[in-house]
Structure 1
């Protein structure tokens, strides 16, 4: 004797329970603004081309995308002259002190780093190791421009008034490591009182 079962009533009951309890699957991904969607397209190109400079530009422009490309844990270090570094780990989704942003097409210190100085600029130096790890050294500067020189930024000067020279001690270092598909921010080191 052949028995037939219909699973329709069981399926309907399961669907009713799921809908009643709100168990409809994972929450939708964070929706991206129009500008973040454009930047995500830029990020896809940066990842595909292994272009760490383009990667850095995008994470400096968008906090939403930066969170996506931040390691699960970020090492935060503060180094004082003559002292050992104070190091702590924070969950990547809680890291909120990225020191760099972009104003138009110029890197500038984030407000927490610049304080009340809207004229402060930033010098960046990118150093890539043979294993594709990237160190981004950042230094706060003021640009001194000779009178009548037009739209040029001018000569970068340290905050103490001495000229900035490539390779000088920086205010901080951001480390970006390669992943299988792109890069991720893994470390933020700040150097106190140069």
Structure 2
């Protein structure tokens, strides 16, 4: 079996452009499952330029704005207009610039039961958002960073995550994520598994919860809480 190869952590520019176009023309969708509560806050308003700080209010370190950042920002804006959370989440996980624009004034962050409220500037300065997009799936940000710096890396070097999306009646969005071993990792994988990760076989970490509150124009991150690793 030939393992697929990856050349970069971010989605290709062509793929990003297609996602951005799709987000601009997407339709609203959602479920009626309940999301956990957290204190609402005002929407973050950040600008975009050739070199962007995550606004003076955010306190995030300046980073160079790349073409993929611009495409992710376009994708997020289109997703907001279309009330398309799936595309918005893809953009949010893919770019620091999107996170700077759509993070609340205060974010609950830390381990379950020990989280504390951080000002936007302090949360963004941690640069600790837990997951990243990888093609049509998601992986832990730590494994994506390691993968990017490894010349001979393959998909098996990545820690893929399972996502569960829930929507409350007031349009709050909760995303539960869990890293693990999937059917794709089995040798050989199930014959009926053609593409994708397949079912989660075993959790390899505790994962966590990301909570987004609706604003007048989109959503913003209000909670990033991690769970302890499972006992072995």
TM-score, normalised via structure 1 length: 0.69
Q: Distance in 1 between matches of 2:218 and 2:196?
A: 34
The equivalent of 1:33 in structure 2 is 66
**Highest CA radius of gyration, 1 or 2?**
1
Cα distance change of structure 1 residues 38 and 119 upon mapping to structure 2, 3 Å threshold: closer
Cα distance change of structure 1 residues 115 and 173 upon mapping to structure 2, 3 Å threshold: farther
Cα distance change of structure 1 residues 187 and 110 upon mapping to structure 2, 3 Å threshold: same
Q: Unpaired segments of 5 or more residues in structure 2?
A: 1-46, 51-64, 148-155
Q: Distance in 2 between matches of 1:87 and 1:112?
A: 24
Q: Distance in 1 between matches of 2:214 and 2:76?
A: 14
Please state whether the residue corresponding to 2:157 is helix, strand or coil: coil
Aligned pair count reads 154
Greater fraction strand: 1
> Paired residue for 1:106, among 102, 112, 137?
137
Q: Distance in 1 between matches of 2:121 and 2:201?
A: 34
The equivalent of 1:53 in structure 2 is 86
4+ residue segments displaced more than 6 Å: 112-117
The equivalent of 1:24 in structure 2 is none
2:156 is equivalent to residue 156 of structure 1: no
Deviation per CA, 1:129-150: give whole Å up to 9, x if none.
Answer: 0100010000011123352656
Larger relative CO (CA 8 A, sep 6+): 1 or 2? Answer: 2
> Paired residue for 1:90, among 107, 118, 121?
118
TM-score, normalised via structure 2 length: 0.59
RMSD of the TM alignment (CA)? 2.7
> Paired residue for 1:171, among 197, 207, 216?
207
